[in-house]
Amino acid sequence: MNKPMGAYLVTQSNRSRGRSTREIVDAAIDGGVDVVQLREKHATARERYALARDIRKRTWDADVTFVVNDRVDTAVAVGADGVHLGDDDLPVGVARDILGPDALVGRSVSTVEGARAAVDAGADYLGVGAVFETSSKETAEEETEIGLETVESVANAVDVPVVAIGGITPENAEDVVAAGADGVAVVSAITAADDPAAATRELAAAVERGGGR
């Protein structure tokens, strides 16, 4: 995987202070985002498809990587670069069979064992978290902090890019990348910012200071 994953936006419209996901994505692109992941868990499949189709065009024009959260069918339908999978989604190998060898398949993990299993199954990159406490997910289990030590352990255990997620801000992103992450994925740090474009620039700068890409 040659394109950078440094500043990684995960969309979530109920965190955007009344602004549309399209507005947030445009601002993040202006700010130099590397990856956009369409999440929008509360949208219907039809709504998510319409939004994904629109964002695919915006990211394509800007040469920004675009992945769809969970939904392999939506990723196929809009020609996304790939999909990001969690514990309740299709297995990595099944997603690969559907999407083909050139698609990106990411996998969420929180342990070294899970990271190794995901890579063995064919994951191209890992989303590792939650690093710090976060309110962007909805169950206590998902909000458990794994800390910088686990980020470092996972990064040392695998040879694919590691994207840290969970409670990350421009203020702490440098430390997260210095611990071994190749990039940082955020929801509120961009979507809820007063100026999402400026927040994206700050996040990207912090990643660069930490030594990420």
- Write out the DSSP string of the chain: --S--SEEEE--GGGSTT--HHHHHHHHHHTT-SEEEE--TTS-HHHHHHHHHHHHHHHHHHT-EEEEES-HHHHHHHT-SEEEE-TTS--HHHHHHHH-TTSEEEEEESSHHHHHHHHHHT-SEEEEE--S--SSSSSTTTT---HHHHHHHHHHH-SS-EEEESS--TTTHHHHHHTT-SEEEESHHHHTSSSHHHHHHHHHHHHHHHT--
Residue 1 lies in a domain: no
Residue 93 sits in a domain whose CATH number is 3.20.20.70
Domain count, the chain: 1
173 inside domain: yes
- The annotation status of 110 as a binding-site residue, yes or no, is no
In a domain, 30, yes or no: yes
136: pLDDT confidence band, cut at 50, 70 and 90?
A: low
pTM of the model: 0.95
Q: Summarize pLDDT for 156-188 with one digit per residue, the tens.
A: 999 999 999 999 999 999 999 999 999 999 999
The answer to the question of whether 137 is labelled as a binding residue is yes
- Domain assignment present for residue 2? The answer is no
> Binding site annotation covers 194?
no
Q: Is residue 28 part of a domain?
A: yes
190 occurs within a structural domain: yes
* pLDDT given at position 137: 57
State yes or no: 39 annotated in a binding site: yes
Assess if residue 107 is contained within a domain: yes
In a domain, 117, yes or no: yes
- Which range marks the domain in which residue 17 is found? 7-210
